[in-house]
């Protein structure tokens, strides 16, 4: 590393970290604009899935996937329902694809993204214009799940097709069209709160202190 280079804990420059953050999460210095109320994507007599809280930013949009169950069963308690909806639930547990809630988006220019790829953004996130559908926080129990998503970049004018399938709970593949032009118009109304702040990756905390003596005082390895 040359003297004077500014790097974070990962070895990346603040400029590159900032570029990636703009693609993988809503801007911290913007107040978003609302787009629509709620959109029902699919339902049966016992389950409903929809979109709520769609918010537009200058670099993308955010929404909540809302899941509601009329009744539950022993196979959906203890976090199982959340695991079927979100990649955050029960890491490492292999869930058959036919049991999972599958969500995908497609832009008018044929770019597409889906929740099959989990929460990790691609390594090229800071460099290109590929479409990303990234899971953010979520919560739920055996009757309800609210999973938040971030989509980047903004869609072109035209339709945004939302594809839903959940065979395990009786929802066949379906398509619902949102208005990409309305999302872009709303994004133009976002308000910048303050100038962008320097971006850095979080620095991992130091390891806990070891006892002064005894077996645990010796370093591992």
How far does CA 72 lie from the centroid of its chain? 26
Token pair of 218, please?
A: 């010796």
The whole-number pLDDT of residue 71 equals 81
The whole-number pLDDT of residue 176 equals 97
Give the count of beta carbons closer than 10 Å to the beta carbon of residue 160: 20
The whole-number pLDDT of residue 172 equals 94
Rounded to an integer, what distance in angstroms lies between the CA atom of residue 115 and that of residue 93?
Answer: 16
* Predicted TM-score (pTM) above 0.85: no
Rounded to an integer, what distance in angstroms lies between the CA atom of residue 217 and that of residue 221?
Answer: 12
Contact status, residue 180 vs residue 157, Cβ threshold 8 Å: yes
User: Cis omega before residue 153 (within 30°)?
Assistant: yes
Distances (CA, A) of 175 to 27, 86, 104, 172: 29, 20, 9, 10
The whole-number pLDDT of residue 80 equals 79
Contact status, residue 69 vs residue 142, Cβ threshold 8 Å: yes
pLDDT tens per residue across all 221 residues of the chain: 333 444 444 565 666 666 777 788 999 999 999 997 799 999 999 999 999 999 999 999 999 999 999 987 766 766 778 888 886 545 555 677 878 899 999 999 999 999 876 555 656 555 568 899 999 888 878 889 999 999 999 999 999 999 999 988 999 999 999 999 999 999 999 999 999 877 666 666 777 777 787 766 777 64
Give me the torsion for CA of 28, 117, 155, 56, rounded to 10°. -30
Give the count of beta carbons closer than 10 Å to the beta carbon of residue 2: 4
Rounded to an integer, what distance in angstroms lies between the CA atom of residue 139 and that of residue 144?
Answer: 8
The whole-number pLDDT of residue 212 equals 83
């Amino acid at each position: 590393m040359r003297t004077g280079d500014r790097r974070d804990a990962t070895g990346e420059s603040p400029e590159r970290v900032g570029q990636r953050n703009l693609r993988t999460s809503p801007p911290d210095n913007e107040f978003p604009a609302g787009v629509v109320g709620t959109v029902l994507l699919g339902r049966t007599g016992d389950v409903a899935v929809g979109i709520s809280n769609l918010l537009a930013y200058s670099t993308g949009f955010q929404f909540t996937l809302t899941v509601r169950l009329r009744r539950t069963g022993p196979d959906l308690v203890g976090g199982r329902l959340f695991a079927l909806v979100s990649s955050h639930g029960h890491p490492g547990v292999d869930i058959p694809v036919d049991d999972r809630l599958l969500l995908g988006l497609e832009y008018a220019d044929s770019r597409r993204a889906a929740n099959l790829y989990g929460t990790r953004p691609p390594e090229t996130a800071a460099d290109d214009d590929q479409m990303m559908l990234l899971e953010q926080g979520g919560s739920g129990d055996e009757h309800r799940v609210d999973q938040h998503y971030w989509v980047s970049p903004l869609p072109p004018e035209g339709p945004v097709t939302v594809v839903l399938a959940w065979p395990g709970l009786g929802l066949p593949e379906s398509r619902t069209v949102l208005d990409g032009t309305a999302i872009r118009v709303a994004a133009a109304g976002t308000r910048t709160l303050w100038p962008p702040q320097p971006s850095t990756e979080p620095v991992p905390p130091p390891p806990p202190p070891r006892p002064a003596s005894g077996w645990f005082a010796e370093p591992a390895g």
